[in-house]
Chains A and B, each alone.
Chain A
């Protein structure tokens, strides 16, 4: 917990709350309970609240922190939040809004969205000093070029205990000759299966929690295609793909379409029947459900994965972890893999770094 003192100001992205901010610039987190917001933002806020409660830190939410530039407006804010020196900016990557004179911390969420990731990349390129000025970053390890240096605000890990959500499972069915993606999606929707019924059917499982950015990343798509191909050859091997979340209102058809676009590689000859060993799931299965499915389990993750929805223990049951993602530089790749290894409860002793990604054994 990087926050000191009696309290913490938290700001939320205006884009998500534009239609539904409670009255006033400052309010209690409880005032947000009934307001619509994305699952990821609610999780980030809830994690922050839990950490504050544990550490007896009072939490206040500030809307539109950019209003408090200096002078009278900033004094007004500080007088309404007496003694609070820390500000946590929870951002979807499209804008970050530090409050002058405070210790600012950054919590980025939904960078698995292609648009958000692109907006954040632009922010990093166009205003790196703004980002470099943050005192710490929660659950990310970004570096920002300032002059000749790369500034990396210290990373703080804050992981949650995600509650299992009801999930649907479908068999993979996406022949390359299907007339359209929509047709494939409709075919898949006909194949709903019970995840539980598959228990004990496989000896090996590769679990792939997808993000939208992952679906657009060719090296990652190639890795998934390889895993699927292996499952064709060996019926004891299974692949479970968690659909990318896209935006909060995305329908399952859209999520399936995004996933299919990634795995329908033209060089991969999918069978003309539903494939029982490859499953799509709408939510992360519990660790127990994954254990029941196969004794040996690997995890294939993209660098944009929001690992923090689960505690490190969730990932402990995986034998091998592969991190793949098109990242800008070697140093960035190393930082991401260090972060994920640490968050996913791995040591660095048994790892292998290749241009295609990082492999880490338990």
Chain B
């Protein structure tokens, strides 16, 4: 008789979005990694309402939350199966409620709302910060998107240190993309580098725009293609662009995964000037296509990009220009291209599934919920 697999309920609330970027894509990858791993009986829920696996898989096929919303409506109005208190319940992002089961885990993607609130709207800060402490307290394990995020979580909440685990994601371009791409006419963009990500202050696009007048960048023939939708405070920023900046920089807005793939595939390299990132999936996407990364020396970038990039101080135009000149060297870039593929290969679905499987199977999990990690300099009783 086959042994019953331990079961895990994955909250797939993020998949309700129409356009899957960021956390919805992370959620989809996590679901697929766990299903592929096969050691767990993976079931799905949204806000503690069980969703049939067939509906989640159908949503994954279409990469849209539309079908899933129908499924949620059906499950909410029907009798539905309740979640057992003893289930392992994993949230790929922030929790909407705490304490539904005895074994909960949530995922922290970055701590920028706490450490750089000036780069977020007040509503976003409140949304992330207010419930964070209760979420972490009720977690058996706190998954962190990178070592950088883990370090930031521990800085802010040393008492959860023992239950943090790094949960790296991976890149999985659809198998048909290379064939699609081969059958299309060549792109006519000339030589260009790509910047990927929502256009917002934290992404530090101003550095690149300011660098356009610096000798090393001004002399280059390279153009810059910025892929991503406009974020917070950006209308005003874009309206102020000078003619030179408009000439050298193109903004695509939101594009499909295939268009992003295509633009990355034909780029010379990726530029990632962000001041702070929790992981930086565009870097991994670029590296998986053999593209090196010109990246800010900050937070998670050195850990994710490794030796496949050239790093610079994201507050120094001079350093950026020097790094830009370095990565443009033919020899240097071909050396980095080889490293890029190898570096991206280190992040795969097995690596993503492992810490979750270990948690559910009870391996390597320290469930202490003490506050012993805190070493207060002075303590007074209240």
Contact = CB atoms under 8 A, between A and B. Distances in A.
B356 to A, nearest CB: 23
B382 A64 contact: no
Interface residues on A, range: 35 or more
A97 B119 CA distance: 14
B382 A148 contact: yes
A133 B319 CA distance: 33
A247 B382 CA distance: 34
- Of the candidates B148, B152, B201, the one having the most CB atoms from chain A within 10 angstroms of its own CB is B148
Given A24-B319, A126-B133, A132-B374, A64 B380 contact: no
Contacts of B313: 24-25
B11 to A, nearest CB: 22
A127 B374 contact: no
A14 to B, nearest CB: 5
A25 B115 CA distance: 16
Interface residues on B, range: 35 or more
Contacts of B377: 134-136, 151, 153-154
Nearest to A21: B315
- Of the candidates B116, B159, B314, B371, the one having the most CB atoms from chain A within 10 angstroms of its own CB is B116
Contact of A69 (B116, B151, B201, B379): B151
Given A129-B157, A129-B374, A145 B147 contact: no
A172 to B, nearest CB: 36
Nearest to B382: A150
A209 interface: no
Contacts of A349: none
A149 B376 contact: yes
Contacts of B112: 66
Contact of A95 (B118, B132, B148): B118
Interface stretch (B216-224, B279-287, B294-302): B294-302
A214 to B, nearest CB: 24
B368 to A, nearest CB: 13
A71 B115 contact: no
A329 B380 CA distance: 14
Interface in B137-161: 147-149, 151-152, 155-159
A151 B382 CA distance: 9
Q: Chain A at the B interface: mostly helix, strand, loop or mixed?
A: loop
A152 interface: yes
Contacts of A100: 151, 155
Given A76-B297, A127-B156, A151 B378 contact: yes
A23 B157 contact: no
Contacts of B378: 151-154
A15 B382 contact: no
Interface string B305-345: 00000010111111100000000000000000000000000
A206 to B, nearest CB: 34
A357 interface: no
Contacts of A126: 129-130, 132-133
A129 to B, nearest CB: 5
A146 interface: yes
Interface string B231-264: 0000000000000000000000000000000000
A167 interface: no
Contacts of A154: 377-378
A73 interface: yes
A179 interface: no
B276 interface: yes
A124 B375 CA distance: 17
Contacts of B311: 72
B37 to A, nearest CB: 28
B365 to A, nearest CB: 22
B381 interface: yes
B316 A67 contact: no
A63 B116 CA distance: 12
A69 B299 contact: yes
B315 A25 contact: yes
B315 A95 contact: no
A18 interface: yes
Nearest to A68: B298
A331 interface: yes
B315 to A, nearest CB: 5
A327 interface: no
A113 to B, nearest CB: 14
A226 to B, nearest CB: 32
A145 B382 contact: yes
Contact of B147 (A15, A63, A70, A147): A70
B99 interface: no
B130 A64 contact: no
A134 B311 CA distance: 31
Interface in A1-48: 13-15, 18, 21, 23-25
23 contacts: A23-B318, A64-B275, A64-B315, A69-B148, A69-B151, A69-B300, A73-B299, A73-B301, A95-B115, A98-B155, A100-B155, A126-B132, A126-B133, A127-B157, A129-B157, A129-B158, A133-B376, A146-B376, A150-B381, A151-B377, A152-B379, A153-B377, A329-B382
Given A69-B299, A71-B147, A129-B371, 9 more contacts: A25-B315, A64-B315, A72-B311, A129-B158, A132-B374, A135-B377, A149-B380, A150-B382, A151-B376
Interface of B: 112, 114-119, 129-130, 132-133, 147-149, 151-152, 155-159, 201, 275-276, 296-303, 311, 313-319, 371, 374, 376-382
A-B CB proximity, top 8 nearest: A72-B302, A67-B298, A151-B376, A70-B151, A66-B115, A15-B118, A24-B316, A69-B148
